[in-house]
Chain A
Amino acid sequence: MLRYIARRVLVMLPTLFLISLASFFIIQLPPGDFLTTYAAGMGAQDAIVAREHLAALEERYGLNQPFHVQYWQWISNIVCCGDFGQSFEWRRPVSSLIWDRLTLTMLLAVVSTLFMWFVAFLIGTYTAVRQYSIGDYFWTFVGFVGLAIPNFLLALVLMYISFRYFGQSVGGLFSPEYQNAPWSIGKLWDLFQHMWIPVIVIATAGAAGTIRIMRANLLDELHRPYTTTARAKGMQEWRLIAKYPVRLALNPFISTVGWTLPTLISGEIIVSVVLDLPTTGPLLLRALRSQDMYLAGSFILMLGVLTLIGTLLSDILLAWLDPRIQYDKVGSR
C-alpha cells in the first residue's frame, strides 16, 4: 500500500509542476505590467510612496529578470516559506487572504462531493436494478435536465425560491451575528444551515454524470457470472446485489472524483459569486478584475493543488477498496 501511494505521488509531481507553471504564466499574462496598473490606480499624492514601494517590489520579485528566474523565485518562496507574494489591491501578503477562503471552498467541495455521491449512489443503484422502469426513465430525464441547467442559474432560482417562500435571507454562509465570531458549535450549526443551497447546486453539477456511471457500471456488474454464482448459492436477491455487483460498481464510481472534483470546484466558484459566499469565488473574480495577479495566481495554484490532492485521496481509497489495484493488476477494469 505504501509503495502504491509513493508511486502515485511520484506520478503527481509533473502535473504539480505544470500547474505551478500555468499559474505563474497567468500571473504574467495581463497586458501591461501589473505594477503599472497598480501605479496608475494610485492618486498623485501617493506617488512618492508608490515609487519607493514599486522599487522594492521590483527588487523583490526580480521583475527585470527572465521568466524562469522569476518563476524560480516565486515558487521557491511558496515552497520554502509559504510566501505567495503580495496582494496589490489589499496591500497584504497573499497568504493572509487566501487560506480562510480556500478552507471554506474545500469544505463546500467535500460536503458537496459526499452529498453528490450519496444521491448518485442511491439513484444510480435504483435505476440499474429497475432498468427500464418508469422510475428509471424519470431519473434519467432528471439527470439530463440537471446537466443542462447552468450552476449559477440553479443558484439564482433556489435563492429566489428560498427568498420568496421561506423568507430566508440567503447569500453568505453565516448569519450576521456569527460573521466575525470565533468558531463555536453555534457557528458551525449556523454554517450548516446556510450550506444547503450551495451544496445542492454544486452537487447537481456532478450528479448527473455520476448517476450515469453508477447505473452503467452496476448494469454491467449485474450480469457478470459471479452474480449468478451468488444466486446459485441461494442468497437473497437484494443481499447479493448489495454484496457483489454494487460493491464492484463502487470502484469506478469512486474513481469519478478524478473529474468531478474539478467540476465541483468550478461550480463552487461560480455559485459562490452568485450567492456571495465568503469563499474563493468572489475574491478571485475581484482579483482578476483588478488584475491583482499574485492573489489570483495563488488562488489558481492552490485550487489546482487541492484538486490534485483530492484526486490522490480518492485513488488511495480506491486502492484500499479494490485489492487488485495494489497488487498491480490495474490492467483491466
Chain B
Amino acid sequence: MSHDNAPPPLRPAPDYAGADRDFARDAAARAALFARLGAALPEGSLMVEAEDLRPYECDGLSAYRQVPMAVALPADEAQVAAVLAICHELEVPVVARGAGTGLSGGALPHAHGVVLSLARMKQILSMDATSRTAVVQPGVRNLAISEAAASLGLYYAPDPSSQIACTIGGNVAENSGGVHCLKYGLTVHNVLKVRGVTISGEVVEFGSAALDAPGYDLLALMIGSEGMLAVVTEVTVRLTPKPQLAQVVMASFDDVNKAGDAVAAIIAAGIIPAGLEMMDKPATLAVEPFVNAGYDLEAEAILLCESDGTPEEVAEEIARVKTVLDRCGARAMAVSRSEEERLKFWAGRKAAFPAVGRISPDYYCMDGTIPRKRLAEMLTAIAALSQKYGLRCANVFHAGDGNLHPLIMFDANEPGELERAEAFGAEILEKSVEFGGSITGEHGVGAEKINQMCVQFNRDERDFFFAVKRAFDKRGLLNPGKAIPTLHRCAEYGRMRVSFGQMPFPDLPRF
C-alpha cells in the first residue's frame, strides 16, 4: 500500500476469531513453547527478540501491522511439519509467509502466534523439459522459475507484476494472476500438484503429476486459500513453450467508453489476446514522465493489446485487432516493431504502482473485478467517489479479465486521509459487487477486505466457508481471523454501513 520511507500509519490489527492463549502473560508457557520449537529447528531458525521480529510485522499492505510472538524459518518439509504439530498441540496460531508482497494483509502476523516463513525453502528441485513441469519449493520466486526454464524454451506463464519478489507459495495461496492470464490462465490453471502440511503436521498431496487426481478436487480448494487450509511445501508447476514472437498494439482513445467498447469488440471478434490492458489518463500522466513509454498524454484511455505465436499467426491477429480498434474509434495506434519497443510499451503498465508512488506520498491499491461491459460505468463512479472523498485516483485495468486496480492517492501524514482512502476503496469494492463482480480478483481478502466479505456473501455462505475451513483445521489455527468474517464482525460492519449515506466523512473538503 505504502512505499519508500513515509512514516507507517499505525493501525490496530483486525479482530481474530481463532484460539487465543495469552502467551504474552504466561512467561513459563512461552518459554516452554520456544524450547520445543527451538529443538525442532536448526540453530538460528527461531526468532523471538523484538528487533528480529520487526521486519515481519507487515506485508505489502503496510497500514496493518502486528509484531508476532515468534518467527520460525524451517529449512525443509520435516521441520515445517514439526513446527505445525507443536503449534497444533499447544493451540498456537500460525501464519505462513512467503516474500510478504501480498496486498491484502494475508501474511499479517498474529500477536500470540508464530510466523512460519518459507523463505529458506527456495530450491528448484527438478525441471523436466519433456513433461514441461518443474518441481519447486514454496520459497522459490515466481520469476526464478521462468529464468531457470528459459534455456529449455519454456516459462511459467502467470506473471504478477511483483514476480521478481513474490514466491510460488504465496502465488498458490492467493491464486495470483498477471497480465497474460486471459490467454494463459491464473495460478490454478498452471499448477498440477501441491504438497502441503496440515495444521496437525500431516503431509498431504493435492492434485498429481497426471492431469487429474482421485477424490474431490482439493487442489482447487487449496489454491487461493490464503494460507488457511495447509502450508505449501512443494509445488509442481506446468511450464509453457515460449512463443516465437510477441507484438503489442498500443491504441489511444479520447473517451473511456470507446476504449471499454473496444475491449468487448476484440473479444466479440473471436480474439483472445495474450494480454489486454487499459490505463486511464491519470495513470498515463503518472507513468509517462517515469518511463518515457511514448504514451499519448492527450488520450482519456490507452489500450495495450498483445498477440503471440508464430510470426504468421501474430501478423494475422494484429491485423484483425487493428481493424477492430479502428472501427471502435481509436485516435492513434502503434504496433511494436521490436522486442525492445514491445517492452517499452509495457514498461509503463508494469511500473504503474511505483510511478503513482512518485506523485503521491502514499497510495492504496484496490482489486475489484466487474463484468467488462460495466467498465465505463465503473470509471464514472470512481470519478464521482474521487470528488466525494477529495482524493485522486489512477486506474490500471486488466481489461481482458475485468480486473480493475484503482490506485487511490493519499498522504498518511494528513490526519484522516488514510481513513478516507479506505472508505473510498470500500465503496469501490461494494460497487464491484453491485455490478455483478467481486471484491477481489487476485490480491485476496486477507485482513483488508474482511468487511466487504459481509457484502458479497450472505450469512449461510460465510458459515459454509467456516465449514470448509473446519474440514482442514478444526481448531482454526492456520491464519486465524483472515478472509472470512465472523457473524459478529459483519453485524458491526452492517451498523456502520447503514449510515454510509451521511457518514463517514460528511465534512470532507472537496477539490
Asked whether A and B interact, the reply is no
Q: Using a CB–CB distance below 8 Å, which chain B residues touch chain A?
A: none
Question: Residues on A close to B: CB < 8 A?
Answer: none
